[in-house]
Amino acid sequence: MAVDLLAYAQLKAALEAKGATLIAVSKTKPVEDIQALYDAGQRDFGENYVQELVQKQEQLPLDIRWHFIGHLQSNKVKMIAPFVHLIHGVDSVKLLEVVDKEGKKLDRKINCLLQVHIAMEETKFGFDIPEARQAAAVYFLGKKYEYVSLCGLMGMASFSHDLQLVEEEFKSLKHLFDEIKEVHKKAAQFNILSMGMSGDYLLAIQNGSTMVRVGSLLFGKRA
């Protein structure tokens, strides 16, 4: 078993002291490793692949809060809609509409974050900043998406050794997050800023992240 329970305890305590939530990224990891972290007290786990998430959800304790953190295809929303705790990567208006439609079928509000493209890499998904601002305005002012609960923003910084670049990207997302909260003051549930992974979570926390997605520090390197 590759789970580092000491690293988990230290990381969890450090994040709690900063008021941040730890998402243990368990993609490709066996249910035994997830169970070990669960037994140590972890409840929030992140997965990237729909079929893998569905299989694990069926085998593991029902009080796990499952976070979908990968690129979500519209035709697979229905597979996770009944149980997913938070969808981090809502990266288009089309996907927002599909999540709302599936939520309506279940009479269930589905928690979502808008994914904002802040990185230099073109391969990453997400709204650009003006599009995210507009999507939030439509949600909060347009009375659309009744079965979506818009809880905040998510972003991934550039995969770069240039820490100044990474910090500027985090700052740009925090600025947008603060702006949306200020404009839409009644949006009480809009309180999650999901940014930071194993390699840059410290920098993310310093720049206002309230939720970090960490895998390899807990589960070991992936093949």
- Give tens-digit pLDDT for 13-61: 999 999 999 999 999 999 999 999 999 999 999 999 999 999 999 999 9
The verdict on residue 212 lying in a domain is yes
Q: What is the CATH number of the domain that holds 111?
A: 3.20.20.10
Q: How confident is the model at residue 66 (pLDDT cuts 50, 70, 90)?
A: very high
Best CA proximity match to 61, nearest among 78, 79, 44: 44
The verdict on residue 223 lying in a domain is no
CA distance 5 to 33: 10
Which of 74-78, 94-98, 158-162 has the weakest average pLDDT? 158-162
Q: Which residues contact 38 (CB under 8 A, 6 or more apart)?
A: 60, 61, 64
The verdict on residue 128 lying in a domain is yes
The verdict on residue 9 lying in a domain is yes
Q: How confident is the model at residue 75 (pLDDT cuts 50, 70, 90)?
A: very high
Number of domains in the chain: 1
pLDDT value, residue 137: 94
Please answer whether residues 114 and 132 qualify as being in contact, where contact means their C-beta atoms are separated by less than 8 angstroms: yes
The verdict on residue 207 lying in a domain is yes
pLDDT value, residue 221: 78
The verdict on residue 16 lying in a domain is yes
Quickly tell me which residue has 């079928």 as its tokens: 105
* Predicted confidence (pLDDT) at residue 73 exceeds the cutoff of 90: yes
The verdict on residue 65 lying in a domain is yes
Q: How confident is the model at residue 120 (pLDDT cuts 50, 70, 90)?
A: confident
pLDDT value, residue 123: 61
- Exposure string for 57-86, b = 16+ CB within 10 A, e = fewer: beebeeebbbbbbbebeeebbebbbebbbb
* Predicted confidence (pLDDT) at residue 98 exceeds the cutoff of 70: yes
Would you say the pTM of this structure is higher than 0.75? Answer: yes
Read off the amino acid at residue 159.
F
The verdict on residue 107 lying in a domain is yes
**Domain range holding 95?**
5-218
Beta strands in 57-147, from DSSP E residues, in sequence order: 65-68, 86-90, 110-115
Give the rounded distance of the alpha carbon of 207 from its chain centre.
Answer: 17
